[in-house]
Structure 1
Amino acid sequence: MARKADFTPDEWGKIVTAPMLAGMAVTLAEPTGLFGILKEGMASGRALLEARSDPGASALSKAVAADMETSEGRTSAREALQAELSSKSPAEIKQKAISTLAEVAAILDAKAPQDAAGFKDWLKHIAERVAEAASTGGFFGFGGVEVTEAEKATIAEIAAALKIPAS
């Protein structure tokens, strides 16, 4: 069972920001306006909260959720994201998110192989939840497409970066 102490501070920073990056990449694939972005952000946050109490969640997912419950953990994650993503366009942010997820996959495969599969599946699940959170098109939330082709493609990119099956 991997713990925070098993990783360098840089590695842990990437692991802790990975859930946010998975959600952010999907949101940037096809932004759905202010309310859509809020719904998608909330879906990502809910997935973090659910990991804490889900008996099926990996120990590493629970450790990340616990770290994000602390002020220090949230501040560290926010600062890491700002350092990596500031001054970038939405397309650049999306690509950076996906490349960082690939780095996280490599870190997990090397240092936490017993937890890697569960954590990677959790990251993909977060991306899927974010994609399903807000429909695109329609009128006042009615109609429209629940998960767009761009979002599906981004989920496939995330799965490829994590080296897990897309569906």
Structure 2
Amino acid sequence: MTANYTSDELSKIAEAPMIVGMAVAMADLGIVSTAIEAAAMSKEIAGAAQKYPNNSIIQSVFSEEMLRSNAFKVAKPDIKPEEVQSGMVTDKAIAAVNTAVEVVNGKATPEEISEFKEFIYSCADAVANAAGSGLFGTGNPKVSPQEAATLTKLKAVLSV
């Protein structure tokens, strides 16, 4: 059921949802809210294989077996403070998404690629909706204007 991907390709596939979540979190930074958003991101990734049991892309990277195997490593994104302030983090996330989609083209069905894109967006959405403004991230609205703008860009790129 899983396609054959190299270690480098697996890393590129895994990087896309992670950096997308990071881009949304960095759109509106807060100490407590960022921790809550990181937990939401982890939960989304941990549940991906169960949510998409027939998707070869997601199973190849996010199955429990693959997550434990250390078959690939995701490089720590090199993000500078000025990139956060300028919004370039979103541009880096979009580039990572495009790279991941290039990797899976020809190795997965169009339906699987579409689901993979949905999964990437669901990671961004989970982060955006995890914490709001206010004390300990409990305030409303949950999605800040900066996060909403990032989600809009990602939605357009992912065509979801």
Instruction: Give the TM-score taking structure 2 as reference length.
Output: 0.81
Cα offset, 1:161, TM superposition? 2.3
Counterpart among 76, 80, 101 of residue 81 in structure 1? 76
Cα offset, 1:139, TM superposition? 3.7
Tell me the distance in 1 between the aligned counterparts of 2:13 and 2:97. Answer: 8
Return the structure number with greater helix share: 1
Q: 1:70 — aligned with what?
A: 69
Tell me the distance in 2 between the aligned counterparts of 1:154 and 1:118. Answer: 20
Tell me the distance in 2 between the aligned counterparts of 1:43 and 1:29. Answer: 16
State the superposition RMSD in angstroms: 2.4
111 and 160 in structure 1: CA distance in 2 versus 1, 3 angstrom threshold: farther
Q: 1:40 — aligned with what?
A: 37
Q: 1:104 — aligned with what?
A: 100
8 Å contact 1:28–1:94 — kept in the other structure? no
Percent identity between matched residues is 27
Task: Summarize deviations over 1:110-144 as a string: whole Å, max 9, x none.
Answer: 432341011110110111011000102x3444433
Tell me the distance in 2 between the aligned counterparts of 1:86 and 1:154. Answer: 16
Matched pairs, number: 154
Q: 5+ residue gaps in structure 1? A: none
8 Å contact 2:38–2:127 — kept in the other structure? yes
Q: 1:144 — aligned with what?
A: 140
Stretch deviating more after TM superposition (45-54 or 60-69): 60-69
Q: 1:135 — aligned with what?
A: 132
34 and 72 in structure 1: CA distance in 2 versus 1, 3 angstrom threshold: farther
Counterpart among 19, 28, 51 of residue 54 in structure 1? 51
